[in-house]
Amino acid sequence: MTRTVKLMTLTCAGVLSVSLLGGCATDQEARDSAKAAMDAANAAQACCDANEERINRMYQKIMSK
């Protein structure tokens, strides 16, 4: 849960900085940037979840010996 909150915070900060540095963006450009950031955040979270599952399986396998 904490990783998700941190990841979303970084994503929102990135979207905000892009919109501020990019000048006047249209509403659609802002939405597209936000969607791209959300997609990247979801992909990163999926990777973290997969790694956590793999580590947990390895730990369970070691502990069952």
Q: Which of 48, 45, 35, 2 is nearest to 14 (CA)?
A: 35
Give the separation between CA 52 and CA 25, rounded to whole angstroms. Answer: 38
Q: Please state the domain count of the chain.
A: 1
Give the separation between CA 52 and CA 58, rounded to whole angstroms. Answer: 10
Between vectors from CA 29 to CA 25 and to CA 31, what angle results, nearest 5°?
120
Residues spanned by the domain of 49: 2-63
Residue 16: the pLDDT is 63
Residue 24: the pLDDT is 57
| DSSP for residue 22 | T
Averages of pLDDT over runs of 10 residues in the chain (65 residues) are: 63 62 72 91 92 95 88
Give the separation between CA 19 and CA 31, rounded to whole angstroms. Answer: 10
